[in-house]
Structure 1
Amino acid sequence: MAAFGRWKAQRLARADASRKGALDERAAPVVRLLNGRARFCTTSSCAGRLVLAQGGAAMTALEKATGDVVFKFEPFVLHVLCRELQDAQLLHSVAIDSGFKNSGITVGRGGKIMMAVRSTHCLEVPLSHMGKLMVSEEYIEFLIHVANRKMEENTRRIDRFYKCLRLALEADSANNLPSEETEKYHSVYVHRRKRKTIQEQDVHTSPKDHSEELEPEDDPDSNLGIFAETMM
Structure 2
Amino acid sequence: MSWLSTRTYYEQINKQVQARAGQRASAPMLIDSLDFSGLARLSTREEWDHAAEVLCTSARQLEAGGATAILIGANSMHKVYDRVAAAVSVPVIHIAECVAAKMAERGVAKAALIGTRNVMLESFYRQKLIARDIELLPPEMAFVDTLDRIIYDELLIGKVTRQAERELKTILTNLQQDGAQAVVLGCTELEMIVAVDANVLPIFDCTKIHAQAAVDWILGEG
TM category (shorter chain) comes to under 0.3
**Which one has a larger percent strand, Structure 1 or Structure 2?**
1
Question: What's the TM-score, normalizing by structure 2?
Answer: 0.25
Question: What's the TM-score, normalizing by structure 1?
Answer: 0.24
**Which one has a larger percent helix, Structure 1 or Structure 2?**
2
Larger radius of gyration: 1
